[in-house]
Structure 1
Amino acid sequence: MYYLITAEDFVRVPAARLGEDIEKVVYSELEKGLPRGIFEIDGNKGVMVAIEKIDYVGEGKIIQGDGGVYFEVRFTAAAEIPTNLECVKGFVKSIMDFGVFIEIGTFDGLCHISQIFDDYGSYDGRNKMVVGKGTGKKLMAGDEVKARITTISWKDDIFYTKIGLTMRQPYLGKDEWIEIDKKIHEKDEKMKEKESKSQKEEPKGKEKDEKKEKKK
């Protein structure tokens, strides 16, 4: 999800800071704009979240009527580039009756209530949580979870970009759910084993009854 990328831009340096180290000024001015708007590189979209280093600063250019000086800059930045089907970690930001919003880095994703559990999930408005009817799993604001990205609808602004998530698959959701799933699986296996034994014993019982009838 996080990558180092190389980017180019023009950075405005205020006239009051022209006497300072230009590279340091450019660095601080770039950081002010973080997280930067949506960009696209090699067909993938994302957002810059940190400036790693300044690689090149060109000559300054003056625009009439503007007191600042514009420098052509090439820099290395850390970028968050979410991709479809990627597994991500995050924290539950808010609980709604239709699902939960999860903070995954710079972005917020929505996990619909039908995609939270591999179970029927119901919204408990009084306690502000979602509960699995069959499993008893619970999800509240602040919980740390793992989810998989299912859809991304990109907009020009990160706050309007929509990311769909699911936690229905094994090993997703809260870590404690893994233990719950193991116990459910073990219980199901024992039930299957018990049913299998009873089915094997039934024919023996029928054979005994048939032998008794023949003797009569």
Structure 2
Amino acid sequence: MATIEDTVRVPPNMFDKPLEEVAAEILNKKYVGKLDKKLGILITVTQVTDHSEGTVVIGDGSAFYHVKFDALFFKPTLHEVIDGEVIEIIEFGSFVRIGPLDGLVHVSQVTNDYITYDEKRGALVANETNKSLEQSDFVRARIVALSMKGNSTKDCKIGLTMRQPGLGRFEWIEEEKQKSKK
């Protein structure tokens, strides 16, 4: 969470609505998905905490307000363990949705087993253990490569691994827990 200041232009057709709601809506349209190098990616403006009296500029019927608002950010860090959903399986790996970002688990980082791509199923399959990874599976992975350049989520690149203990598809993790209890 961070508190930020900005000026908001409120058009005349929104004058009848509460300023805090209108300002939050306008700020969300402007900032959601934007990347700040220090704070991360803005997820949402949670609330407008303070505002000035509105001023009208000649030639523009809108009112301009200086506002302070609270915003929620997501900033992944190197070596962080994250949970996500597999959103796409391709020949060289799987894309995992982690909050507002997608990370790539390369086939070499899925398991310690040799992985093949099953095009008919749209799955990655381990040769020896028959473990499979498919779209909509939930996984736990570790961030091993991170590039947060540019201004938006499209410019971010995240490399993930699931080859360490306690990582992988949730069902695999549960199986390992059951084996260790025996």
TM range (shorter): 0.7 to 0.9
Q: How does 1:168-187 map to 2 (within 5 A)?
A: 168-178=163-173, 180-181=175-176
Conservation of the 8 A alpha-carbon contact between 2:87 and 2:95: yes
Secondary structure of 1:83's counterpart equals: coil
Aligned residue in 1 for 2:141: 147
Count, aligned residues: 180
Aligned residue in 2 for 1:37: 34
Q: TM-score, normalised by structure 1?
A: 0.75
Alpha-carbon RMSD? 2.3
Aligned residue in 1 for 2:131: 137
Aligned residue in 2 for 1:164: 159
**Structure with more strand by fraction:** 2
Secondary structure of 1:159's counterpart equals: helix
1:59: how far off? 3.2
1:64: how far off? 5.1
- Evaluate the alpha carbon distance shift between residue 13 and residue 123 of structure 1 in structure 2; reply closer, same or farther with a 3 A threshold: same
C-alpha distance in 1, partners of 2:136/2:86?
5
Aligned residue in 1 for 2:15: 18
- Evaluate the alpha carbon distance shift between residue 183 and residue 27 of structure 1 in structure 2; reply closer, same or farther with a 3 A threshold: closer
- Evaluate the alpha carbon distance shift between residue 66 and residue 118 of structure 1 in structure 2; reply closer, same or farther with a 3 A threshold: farther
Q: Which piece of structure 1 moves more, 118-127 or 171-180?
A: 171-180
Q: TM-score, normalised by structure 2?
A: 0.87
Conservation of the 8 A alpha-carbon contact between 1:135 and 1:180: no
**Identical pairs, percent:** 37
Conservation of the 8 A alpha-carbon contact between 2:20 and 2:47: no
**Structure with more helix by fraction:** 1
Q: Which piece of structure 1 moves more, 6-15 or 109-118?
A: 6-15
- Evaluate the alpha carbon distance shift between residue 80 and residue 179 of structure 1 in structure 2; reply closer, same or farther with a 3 A threshold: closer
User: Which 5+ residue runs of structure 2 have no aligned equivalent?
Assistant: none
1:180: how far off? 4.8
User: Which 5+ residue runs of structure 1 have no aligned equivalent?
Assistant: 187-216
Aligned residue in 1 for 2:3: 6
Aligned residue in 2 for 1:105: 99
1:32-56 Cα distance to aligned partner (Å, 9 max, x none): 3452410133xxx411112222111
Conservation of the 8 A alpha-carbon contact between 1:87 and 1:148: yes
Aligned residue in 1 for 2:65: 71
| Amino acid paired to 1:170 | P
Conservation of the 8 A alpha-carbon contact between 2:144 and 2:161: yes
C-alpha distance in 1, partners of 2:21/2:171?
46
1:69-89 Cα distance to aligned partner (Å, 9 max, x none): 222211111211111111111
Conservation of the 8 A alpha-carbon contact between 1:109 and 1:164: yes
C-alpha distance in 2, partners of 1:15/1:182?
60
2:109 matched to 1:115? yes
